[in-house]
Structure 1
């Protein structure tokens, strides 16, 4: 159930990738990633959320959010900043990073990728990294982004050749080095798969007592309720109906769902319906009546009222604005 619900969310939030950097560094070195408000409009205009990632292909370095603890990242490991908050990558913990030059942003914006960054001074390479950005939709409702911590690290991925993370380094290094036709598209797809694998590993590593949307995917009753809502958003679900399908009582369903997900089941259903509607509006090829029926509204008028109440604008304005 967890995989189905996660896949459903990923399908509607439209992951895209851009701006890939190949970094060769010699100690001592440090780089400060600028605020996402500077990067996002330049390299991924139109997107409303940015995720930054760094894969260490050889050597080691440290990664940390501004004002946070730096953690070691070894060869074969990846660190992700799920909201692209300002952060520092460096050869030692506690170093203050240097902001990237305006030329770097200009080159990334122009699409001359992958872009090679040389932090060498005539000595031996102490670390090599492949870095990039992923963009996705955060509005109107992205439960995955809301549930992820600001920083994620996946370890020992080079020793797990059965998963996508294990293969990512080999493919990414080859694409960056060879600059073959279609490299940018290949790196985009690899980045998307890497993100999904990192999220799955994070879910699997959550302690049993952990709550939240991601932990709810693993819970037998909450996970099944989420899967039912995502599988049939147009169905006239009730708490009683969900509880019956999940083999539990109405009271237990209401309490447990709210405990894990943070909102009652019917509130979650309403928000997810609007996410599905927004994604259909973004595509721009569905009639309003079709969208209304697809998410469980009996009329176009009732759908429009509900959409405007939750989103602040009518569906027609949302469609025009996003396009």
Structure 2
């Protein structure tokens, strides 16, 4: 069983870190992230209990323990002890279970009897117990998680990120988690909608904290964020993806020669500058088409293509699908 304290890797926001010089780029990257809650549950579980959550690609799970305790278990057998005040963000939507103890019988959460509390929130009661000490009170969410231009960092993101409300490593989250605890426990009028919004904020802050500290990983886009010479070019690309950039223009922004810039970009990010630019455009296009339902013609115009046909050819060449087919598949 893993210890929660050993897993928390959140930044000390009062300290100076290597990312401070690239804060504008971090802001730009996070701007493209989309996190939208699709289903939330207020769960009152009496021991013994076991709740199974299925694998959901393109989604993330969020769990908050307001009272009691739980064991988080994944399919590979790894387990984590959770206590009151702990929050968990499962970025890749991996299948997992919440248990009162390791040997508890498991039922699929979707089969549990639920009472609607709002459009996306319901109340779930599992088991019966007269002893409050045998019960756990949790708030659970399943969210659409679209990384947008953070896609390169997404592959580096850990499968599970755990936050301890009693710790000092992420002080900005503590008041929000304390508010969630009060709302879950008191169940006052309108608490369901408030909890859903708070959960979205907490999840976004967890992702932001991970990007800012990068979990010590210095490869790919993370290394580029640390390099002020590359960060300037990346910021320009992300702010103006529709501009017809040349390698010489990007190198000039970084005050270096074209050849030195191109070599450094390729070595650090594993792809040439103009290839990265095209991939960035297609990630943005996919997000605008499927999540924001933007017309294809408008997407093409915003990304600098001279015609819808030219954009459609580029999109299919990069993704394998036409813009219209991609939108239909996502729907």
For Structure 1 versus Structure 2, the TM-score category normalised by the shorter chain is 0.7 to 0.9
SS of 1:79's equivalent in the other structure is strand
Structure 2 partner of 1:34: 54
Call closer, same or farther: CA 1:238–1:74 in 2, change over 3 Å.
farther
| Separation (CA, whole Å) in 2 of partners of 1:239 and 1:118 | 59
Report the count of equivalent residues: 308
Structure 2 residue 251 is the aligned partner of structure 1 residue 243: yes
Deviations 1:40-99 (A, max 9, x none): xxxxxxxx611011122234433232114222334322211112211122345x546613
Match of 1:89 among 93, 98, 101: 98
Q: Tell me how far 1:154 sits from its aligned partner.
A: 2.4
CA contact (8 A) 2:41 2:124 kept: yes
- Residue 156 of structure 2 corresponds to 147
What is the rounded CA distance, in whole Å, between the counterparts of 2:163 and 2:266 in structure 1?
29
1:128 equivalent to 2:148? Answer: no
Q: CA deviation at 1:120?
A: 4.9
Change beyond 3 A, Cα 1:314–1:30: closer
Once the two structures are TM-superposed, the CA of residue 243 in structure 1 deviates from its matched residue by 3.1
> In the alignment, is residue 51 of structure 1 matched against residue 60 of structure 2?
yes
Q: Any gaps of 5 or more consecutive residues in structure 2?
A: 1-20
Distance 2:42 2:169 in 1: 23
Q: Of 205, 210, 217, which residue of structure 1 is paired with 2:218?
A: 210
Q: 1:102 Cα deviation (Å)?
A: 4.7
Q: How far has the Cα of 1:306 moved from its partner?
A: 0.5
- Name the SS of the counterpart of 1:150 in structure 2: coil
Query: Would you say the 8 A contact 1:89–1:97 is kept in 2?
Result: no
**Residue 238 of structure 2 aligns with which residue?**
230
Does residue 186 in structure 1 map to residue 206 in structure 2?
no
Which 4+ residue blocks in structure 1 deviate beyond 6 angstroms?
138-141
Root mean square deviation, CA, Å: 3.6
SS in 1 for 2:106: coil
Shift of 1:16: 0.9
Do the aligned partners of residues 272 and 204 (structure 1) sit closer, same or farther apart at CA in structure 2, a change above 3 Å counting?
closer
Where does residue 169 of structure 1 map in the other structure? 177
Q: Which residue of 2 aligns with 1:271?
A: 279
The corresponding residue for 2:38 is 18
Question: Would you say the 8 A contact 1:18–1:188 is kept in 2?
Answer: no
CA displacement 1:115-149 (0-9 Å, x = unmatched):
23345533214643221111134689833433322
**Structure 2: how far apart are the matches of 1:67 and 1:202?**
24
Q: Which residue of 1 aligns with 2:203?
A: 195
Question: Are 1:295 and 2:295 counterparts?
Answer: no
* TM-superposition CA deviations, 1:279-322 (whole Å, max 9, x none): 3334445461x432321223333222111212223334445555
Find the aligned partners of 1:71 and 1:222 in 2 and give their Cα distance.
38
Return the alpha-carbon distance in structure 2 between the equivalents of residues 253 and 68 of structure 1. Answer: 45
Question: How far is the alpha carbon of 1:190 from its aligned partner?
Answer: 1.9
Q: Secondary structure at the match of 1:148?
A: coil
Return the TM-score normalized by structure 1.
0.77
- Aligned partners of 1:101 and 1:74: how far apart in 2? 20
CA contact (8 A) 2:40 2:120 kept: no
